[in-house]
Amino acid sequence: ASARVQGGDARNVELTVKKPLRFATTSSSERLSATVAYSGPLAAPIEQGAEVATLRIVSASGLSAEVPLVAASAVGKAGPLD
């Protein structure tokens, strides 16, 4: 997933989790849905590893989890030619 960036030397920043994610369901065939939520566009500069979004996971049985998403790379402020 990625998030839009305003005023940066990149228009988007890739999102990732800090550590591997595990989510247990009641059945191996249970469907999951996931959404990424953030207040955006994100304002530059953004440091690599900064928490900038949330991953929301919901199972068909109603189990849910929220996991912080971090910037996979740094985004600097836009220069005069960006």
pLDDT along the chain (82 residues), means of 10: 96 95 79 93 98 94 91 94 68
Residues contacting 29, CB < 8 A, separation 6+: none
* pLDDT value at residue 82: 64
* pLDDT value at residue 22: 84
Q: Are 41 and 3 in contact (CB under 8 A)?
A: yes
CA 65/CA 74 separation, integer angstroms: 26
* pLDDT value at residue 79: 83
* pLDDT value at residue 42: 97
Reference 13, options 67, 51, 65; nearest CA is 51
